[in-house]
Structure 1
Amino acid sequence: MARDLGAAQRFYGEVAGWRFRPARLGEAFSVAELDGMPVAGIGALAGDLAVAVAWTPYFAVDDADVAVDRIRERSGTIAVGPVSFESGGRGALVADRDGAVFGIWEGQVSSGWRVGSGQAPAWLELRTRDAFESAIFYGEVLEWATGRAGCCEVAYEEERVVLRQEGEPVARLDSGPVEPGSYSPYTRPRWHVHFRVPALEPAVEAAVALGGRTVSETGTSATERWVSLRDPDGALFTLTSFRTDGGGADG
């Protein structure tokens, strides 16, 4: 969700190398692509819907009404929808029991949209009060770990829940100190998106030059390096790139 579609496209185009095409959802929407594959969607609706400028993950469901009913039954919140679009899809903007916002989508989904595949976002992270309890909520709402074709597998690893699809990690749920209802994005439960770029420093420099700012030090693992940022409108996201030095973790 952005305030100005053109400004958002200019920023992420320079930072992440994305190109944009019109979406079937209307003039306020565009699809970001990298090397011809879809990466993300931008909708200039933050002002119209009185919602925060933010990156929000949308999870595919077979039936939006059924998913919304499951969310209500488990004390989640329905903010918008389900709404029908001319494209034939139906979506809703919702929140889990602790207030972390996410979306659901019923309709056609390109295989290129799957997190962790191709040019799509590298992974998603849920920062929440209790990762195990949240995994139960999302598992029941989104039918994780049900054994049906295409569903995700869930594992508890090193005090966090890891979500995999076809063996590849696509999301992790981390327990930690959070404050449900907090106005601070650093303390309230939330989903956080990680976008992969070829080289970290040039992308971060471009973001800062275009009005964004870093909000973390550079993190490092055995295989990747990453930095969290805000775009000019305040949306939080993380840029990550593979390490090329072959070194071990130092951060």
Structure 2
Amino acid sequence: MQSSHFLKAILLLKVSFWLQTRPIKAFENNEDSPNRSVKSPTHEFDWKSMIDWSYSPERKTEEIISGHSSLGTSSPAGGRSPRVNMRLKEQETLSLHDVTKGSQPVQPEKESRSPITAISSIKMQSPVQRPKRKYKNLKERYSAEKVKQFSRNYYINYRKDPERVKRVQENNRKRYYKRKAEKEEMLTTLTEAEKEAEVAKRNEQLAKRRFRYRLKKDPNAVNEPRKYKLSEKERRLARERGAKHRLKRMLEAQNGNSQIQ
């Protein structure tokens, strides 16, 4: 009786030992296994390397290419692949071109890319075209009263700083002579007819500017330059500006400060 129990215990130990060493042998017999050279099943097995190898992206890529993935593969034509629900021997005999009719042959990937690089490559291929931002000036962002107040504050702060006034005047003088030299150099490259047309255009601009200044002093001025006729509305606005300017100057002379903006 005791001997039978002893034999059963020995048989149970053998079966349990065989079940424990079965996945180890299968792992060692695999050609991709890092422990392939180790033949003894009694050594201390490295489970971490086995888990890393089984979940590595290279192995997943091989499973997808060979058609042995546990999730199954779908054919490019839309239906399920004939590899699914097949025996292992039948799956091994199939080639990469043995797919459903009318579908393209499966091309194995040359290198496995991580999802992050795949997403970045998609973004680089099709960038999002965003409209350019339009920067608004003061007149578009604020009301006319607000813009006038900004201009007045800038004028007051500008006049309070003599160094700034001197620097701005010097920059304006340099800019004037630089533009004048550029225009003179441009005139030397023109022909006689082009030079006469450019001089006539410049004289016309100067005549308009002088007439505006003269109209500011005398709203009833009539000696307008040729091809430059003012409408009644423009004359009325010029008279209003001239009257406002004269009133402002008069108040500044009397009180030292003008209340008219």
Normalised by the length of structure 2, the TM-score is 0.16
The structure with the largest alpha-carbon Rg is: 2
Normalised by the length of structure 1, the TM-score is 0.16
Higher relative contact order (CA 8 A, sep 6+): 1
Higher strand share: 1
